[in-house]
Structure 1
Amino acid sequence: MNARELILGKLRAAEAAPGMPLPELEERINAHHARGPLREASSTELADTLQRVMTSVRTEVWRVDAHGWPALLAQKLVAAGVGSLLLDTARAEGAALAAALPAEVRTVAFDRPLEEWKNQLFADVDAGFTVVRSGIAATGTLVLAPDAGSPRTVSLVPPLHVALVYASTLHADLHAAMHAEAWSAAMPANLVLVSGPSKTSDIQQTLAYGAHGPRALWVFIIDDAGATA
């Protein structure tokens, strides 16, 4: 019997073997995760955890309010020498940021097929701005739902990715996020999970940043007062 037949045989045996009914299995999984250490945390406590975990993996994180973040972010972009920023001004957050940017920071819209301006995008755009769908505190993860105005390219191609996340959208863990957002019933066609800047290591375990995406990640957490997890 060759390797292929062995693997198929094991799969068929597992399929035929009696197993736990799915409702019971799901109930046990839910009960296990319900005991998670962050399940009763407030949105502020979840934001604290997200900040701590993401900072530990070379991410710069700022806690901001709903009104002051555009001016602070504009100041940070100028100080970092960002000359062009990819963002969607059709969103309220994108429009607010564009209004706060000084003349030396040029805004770029993703308003044409990638093939028409791929060279410009890879060579001339310094940073991309996204508004995060939600966040996962336990793992320090941002959940992005790309759309026409902010496709995956915005968070993957520019060397700096700037993300805005609301504390009220944070979840304790991945299991909580999947249930709260009903991923099994209405999961978007494409979700991007970001847990820090792009990094990789070679066979000698030398860590390098930016090999497969942004080499820097900035996260601005809006502490929307009174919000719950």
Structure 2
Amino acid sequence: MSARDAILARLRAAAPGADASAAASLDARIDTHYAARRTAAAADPHTLAHAMQTALAASHADVWCADAAAWPAQLAGRLAAAGVRRLLLDPARAESAALARALPDAVAAVPFDRPIDAWKAELFDTIDAGFTVARSGIAATGTVVLAPDAGTPRTVSLVPPLHVALVHAHTLHADLHAAVHAERWHAGMPTNLVLVSGPSKTSDIQQTLAYGAHGPRRLWVVIVTGPDTADRPASQGTAR
């Protein structure tokens, strides 16, 4: 037995035993609590997309809906208009490849294909924006759920001053409880999930709010809609 296994075994032995029936009862109470809070429309794709937009806009994110055919050109145009010249993305992802094809010549797509120490100065000084594709979204809080990997490490959504997140409407959940159940986190807890609910912000002792102190000072979120969300006018356009 390794030292690690020995320590874990001692901790388990010292921990008070859990009553399986009590745990099941607690789970049922939690499920009932969240179910009672949700309206019948909570599972409606349009309702979820609208709630996601509203919550993100309240946190000073720029968020809009676009269908699968339109979003690459829309986003490319907005990036160019915002003065973005170098965009960090993972070219292996289908969404990133679609965006890269739509970018004008003035905007360069840059892959994260080197160890960070090999290009730290370039990364911090010349990258204007980072593009990520969300694992899912939580409508109640306007939260983008990111699952960093080798092609899109956490750095992509943390270092550039502008973070652009793409969320597919069919991955939206009403709340965190719904997300945990629908994605079966209990069957294999992800090793690293990042929950983003707005641009980075902080305040000093005088409560003066500042953006960008610990991450991107701007957050754009594109909700990619399908037929159930794209056919209603309220889901189109900019939320703020």
Identity score, percent = 63
Aligned partners of 1:164, 1:17: CA distance in 2, in Å?
41
Deviation string 1:118-155 (CA, Å, 9 cap, x unpaired) is 11111110000000110000011000001111010000
AA aligned to 2:26 is L
Secondary structure at the aligned position of 1:219 is classed as strand
Distance 2:120 2:33 in 1: 46
Residue 30 (structure 2) pairs with residue 29 (structure 1): yes
Give TM-score, length-normalised by structure 2.
0.85
Matching of residue 60 in structure 1 with residue 62 in structure 2: yes
- What is the alpha-carbon distance in structure 2 between the residues aligned to residue 39 and residue 153 of structure 1? 39
- Asked if the contact 2:41–2:47 (Cα under 8 Å) also holds between the matched residues in 1, the reply is no
Query: Which deviates more from structure 2 when the two are superposed, residues 31-40 or residues 214-223?
Result: 31-40
Question: 1:198·1:210 contact (CA, 8 Å) conserved in 2?
Answer: yes
Matched-pair contact (CA < 8 Å) for 1:54–1:196: yes
Partner of 2:169: 167
CA contact (8 A) 1:39 1:172 kept: no
The answer (yes or no) to whether the contact 1:64–1:222 under 8 Å persists in 2 is: yes
1:145 aligns with 2:133: no
Measured against aligned partners, the alpha-carbon deviations of 1:161-213 in whole angstroms (never above 9, x if no partner) come to: 00110111000000110111111211221000000000000000000000000
Deviation at 1:89, TM superposition (A): 1.0
Residue type of the alignment partner of 1:212: H
Whole-Å separation in 2 of the counterparts to 1:212 and 1:127: 15
More displaced 10-residue stretch of structure 1: 16-25 or 137-146: 16-25
Unaligned runs of at least 5 residues, structure 1: 1-13
Deviation (angstroms), 1:40:
4.0
The equivalences for 1:124-143 within 5 A come to 124-143=126-145
1:69 aligns to 2:67 (yes or no): no
Question: TM-score, normalized by length of structure 1?
Answer: 0.89
User: C-alpha separation between the residues in 2 aligned to 1:29 and 1:204?
Assistant: 38
Deviation for aligned residue 1:36: 2.0
Name the residue aligned to 2:204: 202
Q: Distance in 2 between matches of 1:34 and 1:184?
A: 19
Match in the other structure for 2:224: 222
Secondary structure of 1:158 counterpart = coil
Q: Is the 8 A contact 1:38 1:138 kept in 2?
A: no
1:226 Cα deviation (Å)?
3.7
Q: Contact conserved, 1:38 with 1:46, CA < 8 A, in 2?
A: no
Contact 1:197/1:209 (CA < 8 Å) preserved in 2? yes
Structure 2 CA distance for aligned equivalents of residues 145 and 16 of structure 1: 33
Within 1, Cα distance between the matches of 2:143 and 2:59?
11
Q: 1:23 to 1:180 in 2, by over 3 A?
A: same
SS in structure 2 of the partner of residue 35 of structure 1: helix
Residues 95-110 of structure 1 aligned to structure 2 (within 5 Å): 95-110=97-112
- Give 5+ residue unaligned stretches, structure 2: 1-14, 230-240
User: Which digits, 9 at most, give the CA deviation of each residue in 1:11-32, with x for residues without a partner?
Assistant: xxx9589997101111111111
Letter in 1 for 2:35: A
Distance (Å, rounded) in 2 between the aligned partners of 1:76 and 1:69: 10
Please tell me the residue identity of whatever aligns with 2:177. Answer: H
